[in-house]
């Protein structure tokens, strides 16, 4: 398994807050299916402490698997993000004991 960092930035047309509120229950239920693979996750906050995106570190077989997972997330089906970046990730600082040594 490999680690991938997913960074999502909300759309900027004023609809993000509404989309997030309407789809959050479905998003949470969907993400529950991946609880064992999402090593870290949560909202990215703006200067007023409001969500403006999200960040996750996901354990997966491939980047394509992560892209499929993200694409099927109710947040993305509803069009929440304007940008989604996915990169391989190497956990160095405070590396969990269950990860193989570097």
Mean pLDDT of 54-81: 97
Range of the domain at 63: 2-88
Is the per-residue pLDDT at 101 higher than 90? no
Mean pLDDT of 75-92: 97
Residue 95 in any domain: the answer is: no
Q: How many domains does the chain have?
A: 1
Over residues 12-22, the pLDDT tens digits come to: 999 999 999 99
The proportion of the chain whose per-residue pLDDT surpasses 70, expressed as a percent, equals 100
Q: In what order do the strands lie in the sheet with 81-88?
A: 38-45, 51-60, 2-10, 81-88
Mean of per-residue pLDDT scores for the chain: 96
CATH code assigned at 18: 3.30.70.1060
Measured in degrees and rounded to the nearest 5, phi and psi for residue 47 equal -65, -15
In which element (H, E) is residue 32 found? Answer: helix 16-32
Residue 97 in any domain: the answer is: no
Q: What is the pLDDT of residue 1?
A: 87
In which element (H, E) is residue 99 found? Answer: none
Residue 99 in any domain: the answer is: no
């Amino acid at each position: 398994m490999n680690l991938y960092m997913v960074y999502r930035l909300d759309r900027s047309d004023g609809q993000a807050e509404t989309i997030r509120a309407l789809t959050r229950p479905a998003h949470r239920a969907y993400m529950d299916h991946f609880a064992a693979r999402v090593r870290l996750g949560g909202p990215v906050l703006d200067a007023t402490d409001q969500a403006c995106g999200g960040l996750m570190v996901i354990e997966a077989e491939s980047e394509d698997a992560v892209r499929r997972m993200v694409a099927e997330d109710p947040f993305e089906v509803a069009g929440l993000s304007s940008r989604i970046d996915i990169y391989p990730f190497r956990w160095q600082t405070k590396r969990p004991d269950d990860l193989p040594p570097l």
